[in-house]
Chain A
Amino acid sequence: MHPLRIALAQVAPRLGDLDANLERHHALIQDARAGGAGLVVFPELGLTGYQLQDLAAEVAMRLDDPRLARLAAETRELSAVVSFVEEAGDHRLFIAAALLEDGEVRHVHRKVFLPTYGQFDERRFFAAGDVVRATPSRLGLGIGIAVCEDFWHLQMPQLLALDGAQVLINVSSSPGRDLAARNEVGLGTATSWRTLMRTYAQLTGSFVVFVNRVGVDESMTFWGGSEVIGPSGEAVFSAPFFDDDLYLVDVNLDEVRRERIALPLLRDERLELQARELGRIIAERAGMAADTTADPGAEPGLDVSPRTVAPAEPIRLRPRRRVARGQP
């Protein structure tokens, strides 16, 4: 038996108010400890708020910032994931999520995928992280940290699990949208997320811990709905939508072993095959190798030829056999 109590800090940060948010983090870490939690997780940009725009540089912290050190100092015999704007030594600004353990910054993940479409404009204000690493932790098993949009790309949960993570933690500032009544939970965003997280948990045989913020920044309302998904793909806990609260969830980390033996999908991943095929696709996309799977007439680097984008009639890949019929 390898029990862990996880505290999900589903909070509403104050936009741009680092001091107020730091104070709230200190208080909630203490609440989590008092509640017997071994891991407490805060949402994406929980220390700063989401819709920062040009405020991003003003609330940025370097990793040696004393405010971060003071927060880390709260984590003796505790693991905490907190998220903030990190200013790197070269002055790039990243959306960062840090694992704080035993008084130290143990690991930092810099958001790799920055949505810049629809209502999102992250690439304008932030640099994208280039590194994906699982990290060992005091919990006795590997942790993989991802930030929001990182989980809308298949490679993230896969890379983290293959790199040794058994608990995948996603911290988010996901704004709710699409309130269609035909949706089972009344919120399209929530349904999409739930589908993804259950799929990732099952395909990687890992716990998925999702902490999404609540509250309002400008037009956006963040929906919460934080969850813990077991490695079988079933939800262990689903927090209410929109409520600001700290939720304690008990899990048994031995579930990972049981699930990975019963359904050894991760064992059977074909890394060398994937790397080989990716190498080929990368070379073909760069126009450095002939594209063996491209349509006839496609430009180098493009799989699809202009005339096949909207075909007037089905494309025939092979000449049709001529069949003589009805001839005298």
Chain B
Amino acid sequence: MSAVQPLPTDDAGRPLFELPDELAIDTDVARRVISGFIQGQLRQAGFERCVLALSGGIDSALVAYLVAEAIGADRLLCVMLPYRTSSPASRSDAETVIADLGCAGELVDISPMVDGYFGSNGAAGSGGEAVSEASAIRRGNFMARMRMSVIYDRSVTFGGLVVGTGNKTESLIGYTTVFGDNACAFNPIGDLYKSQVRQVAAAMGVPRQIIAKAPSADLWPDQTDEGEGAFSYPVLDRVLYWRIDRRRETDELVAMGFDRGLVERVERLVATSEFKRQVPPVAKLGPRTAGVDYLYPRRRPGSARS
């Protein structure tokens, strides 16, 4: 085993992305683990199908390929959920994935849902005048939650579990919308850093243009993750890996050559987003409280849908 394929290159022979040495994983083992994980989650829940929101970006594209590998493309529904300002290139990349896999695809335009609240063309929406000046962040979070609503509705009609598509990097720095894009029944790539998502995507044959393009939440035109956050994914991934997986202190990271300002900023992001990664606490009152001292596996005999 221990397969490290050469990285894919562009037409000029340059690698499509940078993969830090310490982050390189055995993609064969990763695929095997993830495949079994997806099959196990479905079996234990009594489901045979999956639904996911396909944006055209690398994370959801990779999850689509992983689900197709685990259970077959005929049991997968990919839903494209663009807003009217979403990039046309994202839509076309998503369609490429659906065509390549041969899975079911649907398009749901969320513009009327979003505009219905915030208003459009000068007319107030159901949120009233007060929300019409809402910031891009508020609108972006609202869009993420509208997508969540649609995907969970489609999960009923298609009879599939909602598969999460968030990666470890964005989860750790909190670059997610709580109850929005992080909502799912299970997540097969939530322990893969962005660099590792790219590595597995390359090994699985995710289309090159999806691997090569700059990651973006696509919440407003020309937004990019790295532009918005002023970081590069390979460096951010390395900081998180050494800080969290390998338990290195700030001073040790600085001694390794990382910029102190960056390390401290990353630490703040991780700390301030702790709440996004956990189930909300329940006020402890009774003798036995879910998540505190009532601790059962999520799936157990009798819990599967019959």
Q: Which residues of A contact B (CB under 8 A)?
A: 14-17, 51-55, 176, 179-187, 214-218, 221, 241-242
Distance of A185 Cα from B2 Cα, bound (Å)? 5
Contact between chains at A242 and B295 (CB < 8 Å): no
Q: Which residues of B contact A (CB under 8 A)?
A: 1-4, 21-22, 24-30, 32-33, 36-37, 39-41, 44, 294-301
Contact between chains at A179 and B33 (CB < 8 Å): yes
Contact between chains at B24 and A217 (CB < 8 Å): no
Contact between chains at B4 and A181 (CB < 8 Å): yes
Measured between C-beta atoms, what is the minimum distance from B66 to chain A in Å? 14
Distance of A218 Cα from B40 Cα, bound (Å)? 8
Contact between chains at B24 and A180 (CB < 8 Å): yes
Give the residue name and chain of the A residue nearest to B299 (CB).
A15
A interface secondary structure, majority: loop
Q: Inside 8 A of A52's CB, which chain B residues have their CB?
A: 297
Give the residue name and chain of the B residue nearest to A50 (CB).
B297
Contact partner of B30 (CB less than 8 A), chosen from A51, A179, A182, A215, is: A179
Count of CB-CB pairs between chains A and B under 8 Å: 78
Measured between C-beta atoms, what is the minimum distance from A27 to chain B in Å? 19
Contact between chains at A217 and B297 (CB < 8 Å): yes
Contact between chains at B297 and A215 (CB < 8 Å): no
Contact between chains at B26 and A183 (CB < 8 Å): yes
Contact between chains at A181 and B297 (CB < 8 Å): no
Contact between chains at B297 and A186 (CB < 8 Å): no
Q: A15-B297, A218-B298 are in contact. List 19 more A-B contacts (CB 8 A).
A: A16-B297, A51-B297, A53-B297, A55-B300, A180-B24, A180-B25, A181-B3, A181-B24, A182-B24, A183-B2, A184-B2, A186-B2, A187-B29, A215-B40, A216-B36, A216-B40, A241-B29, A241-B32, A242-B33
Contact between chains at B297 and A216 (CB < 8 Å): no
Contact partner of B36 (CB less than 8 A), chosen from A180, A184, A215, is: A215
Give the residue name and chain of the B residue nearest to A49 (CB).
B297
Contact between chains at A221 and B33 (CB < 8 Å): yes
Q: Inside 8 A of B25's CB, which chain A residues have their CB?
A: 179-181, 186
Most chain B beta-carbon contacts within 10 A, residue among A55, A185, A186, A217: A186
